[in-house]
Amino acid sequence: MLPKTFLHNKKIYLAYNNFRKKIFSELAHRDSEAILYLLPWMLSVNDPAVAGYVPNLKKPIAVFGATTDRTLIGRESVFKTMFGIKRQGSLLKPSTRVALIQGIYTIGSAGTISQTASSDCDIWICINKADFEDNSMDQLSQKIYLIKDWMDANLRMPVFFFISDIEDVRNSNFGTMDDESSGSAQRNVLKEEFYRTMIMIAGKIPLWWLCFDPHDSADYQAFCDQYFKGVFADYDCFDMGALESVDSNEYFGATLWQFNKALTHPLKSIIKMLLLEMLLVSAKEELLCHRFRNKIMNQENDPVFVDPSMFTLDAVLQYKQGTDEETFGFIKKCCYLRYDIKFFSKKLTIKETLARDIFLSYPLLREDIYRLNEFSAWPLLDQLDFGEKILILLINVYKDIAAYQQGITNEITPRDMTTIGRKLAACLEKKQNKVPVVHKPLFNLNLPTLVFGIDKKVWQVFAAGDLTKPVISSPDIVYCMSYLTWNDLFPAGDIRMTPNPTPVTLQEITNLAKRMREIFGAFDVTKVDFENYLESEKVTKMLVVISFEGSHHAKDMNDFCVIYSNHWGELFVRRFNSPEKMKEFIESGGQKFARTEMYYYIQRNSLYYEKIIERTKQLVTRIFSCVVTTLDM
């Protein structure tokens, strides 16, 4: 590569990176300021007043180029004021003896139009581990944790940090699966996404991004050799490794992982699932990150840049446009909602500007746009119905991928396969007495006032103003309440009840729902420890509800509703009409009930409240004692 080509590429890349920072700033001005500028400053200083201070720092830590970065230096007075520092002079101290952070980079939706109010920001802190010998690595981790604590307290956008060794990144080694990565299920897929979506917050430019020649093919290794021999007289770049192809098994592993995430956030995952299908089918074609880099770099002066999310969406829609009209129309609606675009609204943002051309090429009907713009105000059941349609689409995409790529799951570690499989089952598998999970298209649904009523011994819960279809119905009101609280559909405001002959009151419904929420919370599979899925089922919590529908004058103990959760994130409801039946149930569970936390509930207005609660506790204690004794024999 000629030096002038290298310099041109570097100029174009820096202009593109500033374009991405501008998008980030417009979509989240305050948070982006902290992430793009305050973060590298905090990492490069060590003052007791500044978040991230580590006492007795073995070796100064600094981000490459931070001490001479005019942007950081120009903002430093504001940063010092923020932390109450009044003394003169810069806290950025140049030093030759420093543990150097090679670069800080975002990956994913940040700084693209796919960034929404619910987006988080994943940040790679890239280092050479050799620069952090002895306990310097522990001190770097401590510094990052302290900065994250400050950001968690002061920013709306959740921020997650990943310390990445450059050698591991070169080799696409991203470890085993935890709550923010997927280990063996991704590897090069993750690296492809990184190159395609990254923003360089501070530090060195990845050489991969500059490996482009408009007049000839560019050999990455030869280009790196030129660079490190000093041909370009430049020191602002580093080698994060080439990426020439992605194996089919990795696309399939990534699909498993993405489908796993889709169970909690189906709308957020839809484009990624469609993208993975496209990439798997066209695995032998040029990588999407290469195509994107070529589009960005193949420009002269006054370049016009494309948002990576729009570039990806364009590729996906091109791939799916041969689908039947109804499915393709639904995919377009999902994309429109996913990116939180609002054409024809009074206040247009950078999102509408950047998305305009795509939706001119793949248009939506004007009436569909107006309706989608009001999605957050749709009736609850309409929102849930849309969410179920997304899940059906995702399942069909997954089935197509699985059929296309048979016999490759052995390339994924058994540990990851077991974890993903059981996590999928916790969300999708239908089991007797299990409370099903609804798949919400948005984080915040339009929760209406709920109306409880009973018809021919069946309890029904309707959304106020819509009595055509119940939100949930069951002969057991406790099951209805479990469904509502577990799926986070129980409103914080008023509930109502139609006249009925039962002793159940609105106050008791509210009290029990509150107690359920305190004990079990709401379904969130992302909060289940991944190690749990590698163990046999364990019941963690159990709530025994005694005679909830009985008269407050009753003394008997022949109506037990048992709600229990396991450590895989599933909730179950069982009802028994005698102590003997409940005893048989617990005994049949054996070991899985060995360490269950027990809770009890009876109507607050029961005349025999204390007596019944105490008798029930004694009964359950005897049952569990028998179970433990049997297991120990």
Q: Which of 36-40, 52-56, 161-165, 576-580 has the lowest mean pLDDT?
A: 576-580
Which residue, among 192, 200, 241, has the nearest Cα to 18 in the 3D structure? 200
Give me the chain's average pLDDT, please. Answer: 86
pLDDT tier at 182 (50, 70, 90 boundaries)? very low
Distance separating alpha carbons of residues 548 and 451, to the nearest angstrom? 18
Predicted confidence (pLDDT) per residue in 128-162, tens digit: 998 887 778 999 999 999 999 999 999 999 999 99
Which residue, among 340, 307, 308, 334, has the nearest Cα to 320 in the 3D structure? 334
Distance separating alpha carbons of residues 218 and 532, to the nearest angstrom? 47
Distance separating alpha carbons of residues 540 and 569, to the nearest angstrom? 10
Q: Which helix (H) or strand (E) holds 76?
A: helix 70-82
Greater confidence (289 vs 445) lies with: 289
Distance separating alpha carbons of residues 75 and 78, to the nearest angstrom? 5
Q: What percent of the chain has pLDDT over 90?
A: 52
Alpha-carbon torsion (288, 289, 291, 292), positive or negative: positive
Q: Which helix (H) or strand (E) holds 510?
A: helix 506-520
Please give the pLDDT value at position 239. Answer: 95
Greater confidence (511 vs 442) lies with: 511
**What would the two tokens of residue 104 be?**
């800080």
| Angle at alpha carbon of residue 161, lines to 157 and 165, rounded to 5° | 155
- Whether the pLDDT of residue 626 is over 70: the answer is no
Distance separating alpha carbons of residues 182 and 172, to the nearest angstrom? 12
Which residue, among 494, 493, 498, 449, has the nearest Cα to 477 in the 3D structure? 498
If phi over 0 gives left and psi between -120 and 50 gives alpha, with beta otherwise, what is residue 590? left
Please give the pLDDT value at position 227. Answer: 95
Please give the pLDDT value at position 552. Answer: 57
- For residue 53, the SS3 value is coil
This prediction has a pTM of 0.84
The domain ranges of the chain are 3-246, 450-632
**DSSP-assigned beta bridge partners for residue 597:** 541
Give the residue-averaged pLDDT of 172-190: 61
Predicted confidence (pLDDT) per residue in 430-442, tens digit: 889 999 988 888 7
pLDDT tier at 110 (50, 70, 90 boundaries)? very high
Distance separating alpha carbons of residues 532 and 540, to the nearest angstrom? 11
Greater confidence (116 vs 38) lies with: 38
Q: Which of 163-172, 467-476, 558-567, 583-592 has the lowest mean pLDDT?
A: 583-592
Q: Which of 22-36, 105-119, 236-250, 588-602 has the lowest mean pLDDT?
A: 588-602
**What would the two tokens of residue 339 be?**
């990116």
Please give the pLDDT value at position 42. Answer: 97
- Whether the pLDDT of residue 178 is over 70: the answer is no
Burial (0-12, 13-18, 19+ Cβ within 10 Å), 374: exposed
Give the residue-averaged pLDDT of 528-544: 88
**DSSP-assigned letters across all residues of 217-286:** ---HHHHHHHHHTTTT---SEE---------HHHHHHHHHHHHHHHTT-HHHHHHHHHHHHHHHHTTTSP
Please give the pLDDT value at position 177. Answer: 42
Greater confidence (398 vs 125) lies with: 125
Distance separating alpha carbons of residues 462 and 465, to the nearest angstrom? 8
Please give the pLDDT value at position 301. Answer: 74
Please give the pLDDT value at position 172. Answer: 84
Give the residue-averaged pLDDT of 98-119: 93
Taking the chain, what is the end-to-end CA distance rounded to the nearest angstrom? Answer: 76
If phi over 0 gives left and psi between -120 and 50 gives alpha, with beta otherwise, what is residue 315? alpha
CB 378 within 8 A of CB 337: no
Please give the pLDDT value at position 628. Answer: 43
Predicted confidence (pLDDT) per residue in 251-305, tens digit: 877 887 787 777 777 888 889 889 988 988 887 788 999 999 999 999 877 788 9
pLDDT tier at 612 (50, 70, 90 boundaries)? low
Please give the pLDDT value at position 341. Answer: 94
Predicted confidence (pLDDT) per residue in 479-504, tens digit: 999 999 999 998 866 789 998 888 88
Query: How far, in Å, are 307, 410, 577 from residue 104 at the CA level?
Result: 20, 34, 61
CB 477 within 8 A of CB 459: yes
Give the residue-averaged pLDDT of 381-393: 90
* Contacts for 447 with CB less than 8 Å, ≥ 6 apart: 380, 489, 491, 492
Give the residue-averaged pLDDT of 460-489: 92
Please give the pLDDT value at position 251. Answer: 82
Give the residue-averaged pLDDT of 367-391: 91
- Whether the pLDDT of residue 617 is over 80: the answer is no
